[in-house]
Amino acid sequence: MTVKPSQNRRISTRLLQLKTAPTTPTTSSPWNTRLRELANQSLFTEALSVYREMLSFGASPNAFTFPFALKSCAALSLPFVGSQLHCHVIRSGCDPEPFVLTSLISMYCKCALIDSARKVFDENTQSMKLSVCYNALLSGYVLNLRYCDAFLLFGKMRELGVEINAVTMLGLIPACAGPGYFWLGTFMHCCCVKSGLVVDLSVANCLVTMYMKCGSVDYGRRLFNEIPEKGLITWNAMISGYAQNGLATHVLALYREMKTCGVLPDAVTFVGILSSVAHLGARSVGCEVEQQIAANGFGRNPFLSNALINMYARCGNLKKARAIFDCMPVKSVVSWTAIIGGYGMHGQGEVAVQLFDEMIRSGVRPDSTAFVSVLSACSHAGLSDKGSNYFAALEKKYGLQPGPEHYSCMVDLLGRAGQLNEAWELIKSMRVKPDGAVWGALLGACKIHKNVELAEIAFEKVIDLEPTNIGYYVLLSNLYSEAKNLEGVSRVRVMMRERNLKKDPGCSYVELNGRVHLFLAGDRSHHQTVEIYKMLDELENLFEELGGSNRIDREKRSEEKHSTGMAMHSEKLAIAFGLLNTSPGTEIVVIKNLRICGDCHLFMKMVSKIVDRQFVIRDATRFHHFKNGFCSCKDYW
């Protein structure tokens, strides 16, 4: 705004200044200071109102104003305000200023207007020499997933001899951070070593992250070990990298190491740790993290709240998960997804569905993952109509592409409801290649509804995709034995032997008086075995008297006793044991692998109708360390 304010306006401005804030200046520098402070504190909305206020008071923005105003626009993703600012920049004549130029490019990139950014870059001859402008545009290309353009620009920089510095690398390396980009990543690593830029801690951190995102955990760790003076971000990069790769035990070990090195964790560290705590059930660490969060005042961090919701939901404490969720001032899709998934995991599909609808009403747009959590909740709770509607809305209403993960939920949903042919037709209609989970869901449904022919088709496909997943062999073998097809049973056995696959029996745990008791499927070694099986018999009789729908189960169980391929479900043993050893009105904590067995919820629902106990389920999908039947109750949930 170089237009000189009229005399009248100047007078009125003066008056206003006297009335409201006696210190309100018409020179730009105090405004700039205020604007910079706000922008640096990430108070972008406030920063932009200061900019507007500044204009209304007749102060002229200059090269020290625009970078911060543009940064705020970029952060809030306001392309319209951004291009207005661009006009102001041109009018003020400070567009060739490097500060302003890079801010403009960066703003357009962050608002996804990459072509406008390129235009700014190309129109200024000045920018062709400046490394900073190249860096801004290059990181913008990567941000907008245009990796080819980014590498072309990188090539041009090398060709023209433009300075390549640490920031150039920081922009480019994330383009190699994905499965399949590993070799490109190692090339970038080599470039950094040759140019000596690896000594820059930021660059090294970035490379560690890149390797972890490629799934090359060993390379990441090796580089991590080579960094002489690790910073907090270095530790965080490694910890979250392990967490992303599902290496929960490594996460906890590294956290311990970090503490012995005297590095203080921050909110980001805790996010990585919490997801591992949730998967492992490492209670002592969970409690410690909880205290640390309270002590450090990280309570308001939305990422941390999401991680806490997930942890409590997985560990069976839905009440606490819900309390955190309800307290969040701004709930993102991730927060909703976490709580919906939590209810879904515990068989409370109705609540999950209500929450999903509430999310949409509150104006949060569901993403692909949110649909996965609501669809899986529907399939666990048998809400087939609801699920089908959501599946249709996914594409029609929200323009999302259904992936194999959505199809596997739908196949599970239809399959459980007995619509096996519909499920098969759905698979055939898929535009993306079905993965193991899709065929596995069909196989699981065939097992429930005893359809041997279709099961054989599904089995062939799933084994082709996941040849070492024992669960599928067991499913088919059990189906064969139910159908009294002994030849089939032995055929599957031979396949397993040939592929050197050892069958791990399914297992469940019950927590009782601070001790965790492990039950294997078909286990008869427990000292209360006789009582447990008696209790299960009694329960069956009660079910029959009440509804009589469990006859099939009874038949199945009589076979279980004799056939070698079948075994009494571990969670039934665990539940019976819990009933035997608790008094009415208490809570029984059942820890089991939620991924494999969905019938568990049904059984628990029926049991809780006739006995005065509350069941809490904890997900043990990743309880690897329990495999040998050992666990220490002090350290684990």
Partner DNA sequence: ATAGGGTTAG
Using CB under 7 A as the binding rule, the residues of this chain from 566 to 625 that contact DNA are: 594-595
Q: Would you say 527 and 533 are in contact if contact means Cβ atoms under 8 Å apart?
A: no
Q: Which residue, 175 or 568, has its beta carbon nearer to DNA?
A: 175
Note whether 403 and 369 are within 8 A (CB): no
Counting contacts by CB under 7 A, is residue 241 touching DNA?
Answer: yes
3-state secondary structure of 365: coil
Q: Which of residues 89-118 bind DNA (CB under 7 A)?
A: 98-99, 102-103, 106
Site string for DNA, 197-216 (x = CB under 7 A): ----xx--xx--x-------
Instruction: Give residues 129-148 in contact with DNA (rule: CB under 7 A).
Output: 131-132, 135-136, 139, 143
Q: Out of 147, 151, 303, 398, which residue is the one contacting DNA (CB under 7 A)? A: 303
Q: Residues 441-480 vs DNA: string with x where CB under 7 A?
A: x---------------------------------------
By CB atoms closer than 10 A (0-12, 13-18, 19+), residue 369 is: middle
- Span 395-414, contacts to DNA by CB under 7 A: 404-405, 408-409
- Quick one: which of 286, 341, 349, 402 contacts DNA (CB under 7 A)? 341
CB of 132 to DNA, least distance (A): 3
Nearer residue to DNA within complex by CB, 171 or 578:
171
Distance CA 544, CA 396 (A): 44
User: CB 366 → DNA: shortest distance, Å?
Assistant: 10
Q: What is the Cα–Cα distance from 209 to 43, expressed in whole angstroms?
A: 28
Interface residue with DNA, options 243, 282, 359, 381 (CB under 7 A): 243
Pick the closer one to DNA by CB: 304 or 617.
Answer: 304
Query: For residues 482-511, which are near DNA according to CB under 7 A?
Result: none
Q: Establish if 74 lies at the interface with DNA (CB under 7 A).
A: yes
The two tokens of residue 224 are: 């991590």
What is the DSSP secondary structure assignment for residue 364, as one 8-state letter? P
The residue (of 143 and 470) whose beta carbon lies closer to DNA is 143
Minimum distance of DNA from residue 269's CB (angstroms):
7
- C-beta closer to DNA: residue 267 or 607: 267
Burial of 477 per CB tally in 10 Å (0-12, 13-18, 19+): buried
Rounded to a whole number of angstroms, the minimum distance from the CB of residue 398 to DNA is: 15
Q: Which of residues 516-575 bind DNA (CB under 7 A)?
A: none
407 exposure class (CB count in 10 Å sphere: 0-12, 13-18, 19+): buried
**310 contacts DNA (rule: CB under 7 A):** yes
Pairing between β-strand 507-512 and β-strand 587-592 as defined by DSSP bridges? antiparallel
Burial 523-557 (b: 16+ CB within 10 A, else e): beeeeeeeebbebbeebbebbeeeeeebeebeebb
Show the DSSP H helices in 196-345 as ranges.
201-213, 217-226, 232-244, 248-260, 267-280, 283-296, 302-314, 318-327, 333-345
Q: Smallest distance, Å, CB 611 to DNA?
A: 27
Question: Considering the complex, what minimum distance in angstroms separates the CB of residue 311 from DNA?
Answer: 7
State both tokens at 365. Answer: 């747009």
Closest distance between DNA and the C-beta of residue 532, in Å?
A: 29
CB contact at 8 A, 624 and 271: no
| Percent of the chain as helix, strand, coil, to the nearest 5 | 70, 5, 30
Helix (H) or strand (E) holding 561: helix 551-562
**Residues from 150 through 179 that contact DNA (CB under 7 A):** 165, 167, 170-171, 174, 177
Q: Per CB under 7 A, which region of 22-30, 47-55, 214-222, 227-235 contacts DNA?
A: 227-235
Output the smallest distance, CB 102 to DNA, in A: 4
Find the binder of DNA among 116, 124, 240, 508 (CB under 7 A).
240
Q: Measured from the CB atom, is 301 or 550 closer to DNA?
A: 301
6: which 2 tokens? 């009229």
Q: Residue 617: beta bridge partners?
A: 590
Half-sphere exposure of 119 (CA within 13 A, CB side): 8
H or E element in which residue 535 lies: helix 529-546
Long-range contacts made by residues 581-586, C-beta under 8 angstroms, separation at least 24?
581/512, 582/512, 582/613, 584/611, 584/612, 584/613, 585/612, 585/613, 586/613, 586/614
For residue 626, the minimal CB distance to DNA (Å) is 19
> If binding means CB under 7 A, how many residues of this protein chain bind DNA?
77
Q: Does 306 bind DNA (CB under 7 A)?
A: yes
Q: Which is nearer to DNA, 136 or 507 (CB)?
A: 136
Task: Label residue 321 exposed, middle or buried (CB < 10 Å: 0-12, 13-18, 19+).
Answer: buried
Pairing of β 614-619 and β 587-592: parallel
The binder of DNA chosen from 248, 267, 315, 566 (CB under 7 A): 267
Find the binder of DNA among 31, 44, 68, 391 (CB under 7 A): 68
Among residues 24, 65, 116, 373, the one that binds DNA under rule CB under 7 A: 373
User: Closest distance between DNA and the C-beta of residue 5, in Å?
Assistant: 27
Residue 573: enclosing H or E segment and its boundaries? helix 570-580
Under the binding rule (CB under 7 A), the answer on residue 232 touching DNA is yes
| Cα angle 221, 225, 228; round to 5 | 145
**Which span sits near DNA by CB under 7 A: 68-76, 286-294, 483-491, 522-530?**
68-76
Interacting positions 272-291 with DNA (CB under 7 A): 272, 275, 278
Measured from the CB atom, the residue of 143 and 452 that comes closer to DNA is 143
* C-beta of 304 vs 324, nearer to DNA: 304
User: Taking CB under 7 A as the rule, does residue 251 contact DNA?
Assistant: no
Q: Which of residues 350 and 540 has its CB atom nearest to DNA in the complex?
A: 350
Of the candidates 369, 388, 528, 529, which one interacts with DNA according to CB under 7 A? 369
DSSP string, 79-127: HHHHHHHHHHHHHHT-TTSHHHHHHHHHHHHHTT-HHHHHHHHHH-GGG
Interface with DNA (CB under 7 A), residue from 53, 266, 422, 540: 266
| Alpha carbon distance 493, 478 (integer Å) | 11
Residues belonging to the chain: 637
Of the pair 301, 481, the CB lying nearest DNA is at: 301
| Contacting residue, 34, 38, 39, 480, with DNA by CB under 7 A | 39
CB of 233 to DNA, least distance (A): 4
Name the one range near DNA by CB under 7 A: 281-289, 305-313, 528-536, 610-618.
Answer: 305-313
